[in-house]
A and B are shown apart, each in its own frame.
Chain A
Amino acid sequence: MTDNLLILPVIIQLVIAVVSLFFWSRTSYQRISSIIGNVIFLAVSFILFFHVKENGIMVSQGGDWQAPFGITFVLDLFSASMLVITGLSGLAVSIFTAGSMSRRRALFVFFPIYHFLLLGISGSFIAGDLFNLYVWFELIIIASFGLITLGGGRRQLEGALKYVTLNLVASTLFLTSIAFVYGLTGSLNLADLAVKIPEVENQDLVSIAALLFFVGLGIKTAVFPMYFWLPASYHTPMSAISAIFGGLLTKVGVYALIRVFSLFFLPDSFAGTVISAIAALTLIMGAMGAFIQKDVRKVFSWLIVCHIGFMIAGLGIFSTVALAGAVFYLFHDIIIKTNIFMVSGLLYRINGAHTFKFIGGLYEHYPKLSFLIAIPLFSLIGIPPLSGFWPKILLIEGGIQGFDYFIVGAILLGSFVTLVTIGKLWITAVWSEQKSVNYVKHFIHFTQLSKIQRFAYVFPIALLSVVSLFFGFGAFWMLDIANRIAEELMNPDLYIQSILQTQ
C-alpha cells in the first residue's frame, strides 16, 4: 500500500457529498448512499488503522512538493484511530438520520452538508500543516452552520446566532495565531514548526501565539471561560444533528489542541498549571450546570462541557500516563456523546418531550430498551468495567504522579456529579411512571413508526453501545493503543523525521 492512499477517507466523504448533491430531491437515494458510503469509510479507516499500527506513520506530500513547502498529509496512530472512531459515529448517525428524519426535513439538504462536515473532520485529522488545519476547521464550521439552522425554527435561529458569532470570533483568533507563527518562523508545517519554534529568539511572542491558539481553539472546544455558547445552542437542532455535534465537533478541537501542544507549543510548568486550572474549572462549572438542568438535552450539553475538562486535564498534566488517559477518554467520549444524544432522540420519540417533567415509564413499557440505554448512560458515568472508567484511572494516576492533587479532586468531583445527574435522569426517565403529555401537533409516537424506522432508531444506539462495551471489556487492548499514542506524542521525533525525511 502506498502512503498516498491515506487521503482515501477524505475522498470517500467528498464523493458521497457530491453524489448526494446530485440526487438533490431524491432523499431515499441520499439515505442509501450515505449509509453505504459510511460503511466504506469505516472499512477503509480500519484498513488504514491496522496498516499504520503495523508499519508506522504514513506521509503524503500534496502536489509532490517536499515537506516544509507543500501541504503535507500525515496519518499516525492517533489520527488513524480518530478516523476509525469518526467512522463509527458517522455510520451510527447516518443510520439514525436515515430512519428518523422525515422527508420534509431531509429535503433541506441534510445529507450533503452532513458529509461535508465529515469531510472537514476527517481532513483535519490528516492535516500536517497549521493553515491546512485552519481550512478544514472552516469547512467544519460552515457545514455545522448549515446543519444547526436546518429547519429554521425561531429557537433554532437564536441558538445558531450564538454559535455562529462565537465560532467566527474563534476562527479569527486562530488565524491571528497562525499569522504570528508564520511571522516568527516562516513555516506552517507542523513538523517543521516543531524544529523551528524552540529556536525562535523571542519566546514571549511564541507564548502569545500559543495563548491565541489556545483561546481560539478553546472557544471551539468549549473550555472554561468560553463555553457558554455550547449549552445555549446544542439543544436546539434535531437529535441526530446534536449527536454529531456533541460527539465530534468539540473533540476535533481537543484533537488539534493535543496535537499542537505536544508538538511545538510545549506547555512549560506555568502554562501547564494554567491549562490544568482551566480544565478543573471546566469540570466543575460543567458539572454544576448539568446538575441543575431539567431537560434531557440540556443536561447532556452541559455534560459535554464538563467532560471536555477530562481531556484538557490530561493535556495540562502532560505526562505519558495522563496523555494516554486523555486520548483514551477522547475515543470514549466521541462514541458516548454521539450515543447519548441519539438516546435523547429516542426518549423524545417515546415521551414527546425533553423536559424531566414529562418523561418517564421507559422500564414499564420498554424493558429491553431501558437495558440498552443503560449501557451508554453507565459508561458515561464510568462505572467500573464500562468504558469511562479506564481513562479516568489513567488521568488520576497521572495527576497523582505529577502531584497535581487539585486536578485529581476536580476529576473526582466531575465524575461524582455526572453520577448524580445521570442517576436523576435514570430515575426520572426509566423508573418513574409514565406522565400524561400533550403531544405537539403531528407528533409521531415510537409505536406508530414502521418496523424499519424503529430499527433505525434502536440499531445505531446498539452499535455504539457495543463499541462502548468493547472499550470497557477490551480495555487492555485499548490501553495498549492509548499508551503507544501517548508515547508518540511525548516523543515526536519519529513524526518529525518521517515528514521532513531527515535521518
Chain B
Amino acid sequence: METVLALLTGFMYAAGIYLVLRRSLVKLIVGLIILGNGSNLLIFLLGGITRGNPPVIGENETMLTGLYADPLPQALILTAIVISFGLQAFAMVLLQREYVQGGVEDFDSIKEEEEAL
C-alpha cells in the first residue's frame, strides 16, 4: 500500500509540475490542482498508514491502548483541502478574467506592455 501511494504521489507531483510549466492557462490551473492533491496525499502517506482503532479513550480507561490511528493527518489534510479549494477557486476566476480581457490562452502572448520610456 505504501509503495503504491508513494508512486502515486510522485506521479502526481511530476504531472502537476509538468502541467504548471506548460504555456496554456487551463493546463496551469489543472497542474496546480494536481500538485495540491499530491501534497495532501503525501501528508496522508507520511502520517503513517495504520489499520488501527479510532483514537477514542474508552469509558473505563484513562489512556489509549492497543493500535490506534493517528487523528492528526486527516485534520491537516482537511484544512489543506479547504485552503487549496479557496485558492484554486480564486486562481480560476483570475484566469477566466484574464482570458476574457486579454483574449488569449497562451502565456507567450501575454507580455507586459512596457510603458514608453
Q: State the A residues within 8 Å of B (CB).
A: 131, 135, 138, 141-142, 145-146, 149, 152, 154-155, 157-158, 160-161, 164-165, 168-169, 171-172, 175-176, 178-180, 182-183, 186, 188, 232, 294-295, 354-355, 357
In this assembly, does B91 line the interface, its C-beta being within 8 Å of a C-beta of chain A? Answer: yes
Contact indicator A179/B39 (Cβ below 8 Å): yes
Which chain B positions have C-beta within 8 A of A171? Answer: 84, 87
Interface residues in B6-46 by Cβ distance below 8 A to A read 16, 20, 28, 32, 35-36, 38-40, 42-43, 45-46
Closest B residue to A152 using CB positions:
B97
Least CB distance, A16 to chain B, in whole angstroms = 21
Q: Which of A161, A175, A357 contacts B110 (CB 8 A)?
A: A161
Q: Which of A155, A169, A175, A294 contacts B43 (CB 8 A)?
A: A175
Least CB distance, A45 to chain B, in whole angstroms = 27
Least CB distance, A202 to chain B, in whole angstroms = 12
Which chain B positions have C-beta within 8 A of A357? Answer: 117
Least CB distance, B81 to chain A, in whole angstroms = 11
Which chain A positions have C-beta within 8 A of B45? Answer: 179, 183
Least CB distance, B82 to chain A, in whole angstroms = 10
Which 10 pairs between the two chains have the least Cβ-Cβ distance? A183-B46, A179-B43, A179-B42, A175-B39, A138-B83, A179-B46, A172-B35, A157-B98, A176-B39, A168-B32
Which chain B positions have C-beta within 8 A of A138? Answer: 83, 87
In this assembly, does B5 line the interface, its C-beta being within 8 Å of a C-beta of chain A? Answer: no
Bound Cα distance A138, B80 (Å): 9
Q: Which of A145, A158, A186, A294 contacts B98 (CB 8 A)?
A: A158
Contact indicator B91/A164 (Cβ below 8 Å): yes
Contact indicator A145/B90 (Cβ below 8 Å): yes
Which chain A positions have C-beta within 8 A of B88? Answer: 168
For this complex, 30 residue pairs linking A to B, each with C-beta atoms less than 8 Å apart, are A131-B76, A135-B83, A138-B83, A142-B87, A145-B94, A146-B90, A154-B102, A155-B113, A161-B94, A161-B95, A161-B98, A161-B110, A164-B90, A164-B91, A168-B35, A168-B91, A169-B35, A172-B32, A172-B35, A172-B38, A172-B39, A176-B42, A178-B76, A179-B39, A179-B42, A182-B47, A183-B47, A183-B48, A188-B72, A357-B117
Bound Cα distance A104, B83 (Å): 30
Interface of A is mostly: helix
Q: Which of A142, A158, A172, A294 contacts B117 (CB 8 A)?
A: A294
CB within 8 Å for A158 and B91 given contacts A152-B97, A183-B48: no
Which chain A positions have C-beta within 8 A of B32? Answer: 165, 168-169, 172
Closest B residue to A169 using CB positions:
B20
Bound Cα distance A145, B115 (Å): 24
Contact indicator B112/A158 (Cβ below 8 Å): yes
Bound Cα distance A469, B36 (Å): 45
Contact indicator B112/A164 (Cβ below 8 Å): no
Least CB distance, A409 to chain B, in whole angstroms = 32
Contact indicator A142/B46 (Cβ below 8 Å): no
Which chain B positions have C-beta within 8 A of A152? Answer: 97
Which chain A positions have C-beta within 8 A of B66? Answer: none
Contact indicator A142/B90 (Cβ below 8 Å): yes
Besides A149-B94, A179-B47, 14 new A-B residue pairs in contact (Cβ under 8 A), listed by A number: A145-B90, A158-B112, A165-B20, A165-B32, A168-B87, A168-B88, A168-B91, A169-B35, A172-B36, A175-B80, A179-B39, A182-B43, A182-B76, A188-B72
CB within 8 Å for A182 and B112 given contacts A165-B32, A175-B80, A176-B39: no
Bound Cα distance A35, B39 (Å): 40
Bound Cα distance A149, B16 (Å): 25
B57-80 CB contact bits vs A (8 Å, 1 = yes)?
000000000000010110010011
Which chain A positions have C-beta within 8 A of B86? Answer: 142
Closest B residue to A295 using CB positions:
B115
In this assembly, does B3 line the interface, its C-beta being within 8 Å of a C-beta of chain A? Answer: no
In this assembly, does B101 line the interface, its C-beta being within 8 Å of a C-beta of chain A? Answer: yes
Bound Cα distance A157, B90 (Å): 12
Bound Cα distance A188, B79 (Å): 15
Contact indicator B79/A157 (Cβ below 8 Å): no
Which chain B positions have C-beta within 8 A of A146? Answer: 90
Least CB distance, A443 to chain B, in whole angstroms = 15
Which chain B positions have C-beta within 8 A of A145? Answer: 87, 90, 94
Which chain B positions have C-beta within 8 A of A179? Answer: 39, 42-43, 45-47
Of A152, A164, A175, most buried by chain B (CB within 10 Å of CB) is A175
Contact indicator A157/B101 (Cβ below 8 Å): yes
Which chain B positions have C-beta within 8 A of A178? Answer: 43, 76
Bound Cα distance A131, B77 (Å): 11
Which chain B positions have C-beta within 8 A of A161? Answer: 94-95, 98, 110
Closest A residue to B39 using CB positions:
A175
Bound Cα distance A135, B81 (Å): 11
Closest A residue to B75 using CB positions:
A131
Which chain A positions have C-beta within 8 A of B90? Answer: 142, 145-146, 164
Bound Cα distance A311, B39 (Å): 30
Which chain A positions have C-beta within 8 A of B84? Answer: 171
Which chain B positions have C-beta within 8 A of A168? Answer: 32, 35-36, 87-88, 91
Which chain A positions have C-beta within 8 A of B43? Answer: 175, 178-179, 182
Interface residues in B84-112 by Cβ distance below 8 A to A read 84, 86-88, 90-91, 94-95, 97-98, 101-102, 110, 112
Bound Cα distance A61, B73 (Å): 20
Which chain A positions have C-beta within 8 A of B79? Answer: 131, 135
Of A146, A165, A180, A183, most buried by chain B (CB within 10 Å of CB) is A165
Least CB distance, B70 to chain A, in whole angstroms = 8
Least CB distance, B69 to chain A, in whole angstroms = 13
Contact indicator B87/A141 (Cβ below 8 Å): yes
